[in-house]
Every structure is written in C-alpha cells, then in structure tokens.
Amino acid sequence: MKAMIIMLGALAVLAVSIPDAIHGAAPAALLLSCTGDVSVHRSDGTIVKASYGLQLNAGDEVRTGAGAAAEVHFENGTWIKLGPGGSLGVKGEGSRKPAEPARKSGSFESVANFLKLRDTGGVSTLAALRSGGKRPEIRLESPCQTRVSDDRPVFTWSATDSTTELRLKIYDDRGIRWQRDIRGAHAVRYPADGEPLVPGTAYSWTLETTDPLRFPPLRTQAAFFEIMPAEEEQGLESSIREIERSSIPSESAYRIVLASIYFNHRLLDDAISQTVIALATDPDNRALHAILAQLYAETGRSEEAMNEYNRLIEQR
C-alpha cells in the first residue's frame, strides 16, 4: 500500500512540474509560420533569419521577401498574416494610447510556454531513450502520466502477442479500484457501471498476464493518470471558446494553439493528438517534431519519441 501511495504521489509532482518547468516571461508576439525568405529586424539593429516559434519583442519588424509569407500571433490574441514583400512592426506597451489598456490573451501565454518544449530534452532525452533496452512485450500507451477530461477513459496498449489474455488493474490509494480480464483487444473503456472515478484524484493502471503456467506473471510498470477537476474543465472550455472566436489564419496554427491549451491543463494525450494533426499540414516543421518528441517522452511513449528524435537527426 505504501508503494502505491508513493507511485500516486509521483503523479501529483508530475502534474505540477510539467507546465511550470517551462514557464517564462511572455514576448510581445510569436512567429507561428514562416515560408520562404522571412527575416526579423530587431530593435537593436540586428537581423535574424525567421524561424517557427521565434519570439518577437516591442520594436522588432518582420519582413517577407518575394514569394514568402508569415503568421504573427500577438499577446492580445490577434493574428496577422503577412504576404510576399511585406513588413510588420511589433508595438509595445509604450505605443498604446492612454485610453487603450493592454489586454493579454490566455491562449497566447499558453502557446508561448508550449513552444518552449522544442528546446527541452534534446540529446540527453534521446540518450536516455536509447538506453531503455528492447521493446517490452506489453506496452501501455494511454493514458500515461497525463490528465484526462473523460471520467470513463479509454485504456490502450500494444502487445507482441495479441492472443495473450491480460488483466487490467486500476489502483487508487486504497488498492485495486477495478480490474478486467481481456483477450484479443488493445483497448478498453472504463465501464459506465463501474465505481465512478473521482475528478482530481490520481490513479495508476497496469497490465499483467493471467496464464497460471507463466510464473511470475509478466507485468507492466504502472502508468499514472488523473481525472480533470470540474472547475478546471470549465476553464478549458472557456479557453477553447476563445480561440474558436479568433481568426487564426491556418489549420496548423489553430491546432498548435489548441494543443497548447490542452498542455496547459496537463491533458498531454490531447496535446499529442493536436500536434500530430498540425504536423500533417506542416510535415517538415522541425520545431513541431521536437515538441512532439518531448510530449511522447513525457508520457512514456519511448518508441514514438525515438522516431521523432531520429527524424530530426536525419534532417540535419
């Protein structure tokens, strides 16, 4: 029981540390798309080549060459798409009129924090993943080290032998909360008639073999999850409504804003899903591949993280 409490406590630490570890001062704007010859002329006179997610400060100017384009997301939540041969200056607090108070967008700050994932982990994370050994016979996929908004989550996994009967167990601080024997499937939803999972409570789950001739049974490491509290779900819905009212220029940018909001609420599986959709519309975006790799690593999906990191290395 003590071991289970310790494991559940680890989720609480994880739930707090993931977003906070990357928080920082928000810039005045973000460059969320740049194709072709795009440059940023800094207020100090320096010129830098534009890149996805580049932070823009007051006094900077974005310039696009022939055939180039860029999308800029401002701290007040507005978007501007810059076409070929254009320029766009970034204004700061000092350029506002006295009767025009500054308004910050919650989604903007979420995006700024989310984009910092591209700079975390990196080579050290890849080395740790490579040292993990061969692929396990049973691998938990979702939910792992994340929150979920559904109080009847779907549990998914992969197994080298799909005919092996497995026993799924869900634990709370009292011990086993629910269990079911499963054969020939790779997913199961928590049943409607099961004991309700409590929002704000940390749980863990495992899979193990049931064959009595296999001793000791093969058992996965525990994966952790938490049901989102109702009051935070209201905040999530409010944030989503905010971005749906915004005129976001491209599908990729919309998906990244949505992913950042999910990440801000520690719904990591949802953040992964939206990042994957964004990459489908922008497959060569190295920053998004780095972000996706880090998200996979955070949720224990080492094989997927390795694939993303290897892709980045191959593209150098």
- Confirm if 312 and 288 have CB atoms less than 8 A apart: no
Both 16 and 55 in one domain: the answer is no
- Confirm if 110 and 263 have CB atoms less than 8 A apart: yes
Both 155 and 294 in one domain: the answer is yes
- Residue where one domain finishes, among candidates 103, 118, 142: 103
What CA–CA distance (Å, rounded) separates 51 from 48?
9
The answer to whether residue 100 scores a pLDDT higher than 60 is: no
The answer to whether residue 20 scores a pLDDT higher than 60 is: no
Both 75 and 166 in one domain: the answer is no
Say what the pLDDT of residue 25 is.
Answer: 54
Domain that holds residue 116: 1-26+106-316
What CA–CA distance (Å, rounded) separates 2 from 152?
26
Q: What is the pLDDT of residues 35-54, one digit of tens each?
A: 899 999 999 999 999 999 99
What CA–CA distance (Å, rounded) separates 142 from 225?
9
Q: What is the CATH number of the domain that holds 139?
A: 2.60.40.10
Both 192 and 241 in one domain: the answer is yes
Both 259 and 282 in one domain: the answer is yes
Residue 174 C-alpha from the chain's centroid = 30
Residues 271/278/49/45 CA torsion (nearest 10 deg): -60
Both 37 and 5 in one domain: the answer is no
Both 141 and 39 in one domain: the answer is no
- Residue where one domain finishes, among candidates 76, 103, 130: 103
Domain tally, the chain:
2
Say what the pLDDT of residue 135 is.
Answer: 74
Q: What is the pLDDT of residues 217-263, one digit of tens each?
A: 899 999 999 999 988 988 899 889 888 888 888 999 999 999 999 99
Both 194 and 278 in one domain: the answer is yes
0.85 surpassed by pTM: no
Q: What is the pLDDT of residues 55-95, one digit of tens each?
A: 999 999 999 999 999 999 998 888 999 999 999 999 864 33
Q: How many C-beta neighbours within 10 Å does residue 285 have?
A: 19
Both 183 and 114 in one domain: the answer is yes
Q: What is the pLDDT of residues 66-75, one digit of tens each?
A: 999 999 999 8
Both 99 and 175 in one domain: the answer is no
> Mean of the per-residue pLDDT values for the chain?
84
- Residue where one domain finishes, among candidates 84, 103, 122: 103
Both 1 and 70 in one domain: the answer is no
Say what the pLDDT of residue 129 is.
Answer: 56
The answer to whether residue 288 scores a pLDDT higher than 50 is: yes
> Which sign does the torsion angle of CA 287, 289, 294, 295 carry?
positive
DSSP structure class, residue 119: G
Cα-based distances in Å from 156 to 14, 121, 163, 185, 269: 21, 26, 16, 9, 12
Percent of the chain with pLDDT over 90: 57
Both 166 and 179 in one domain: the answer is yes
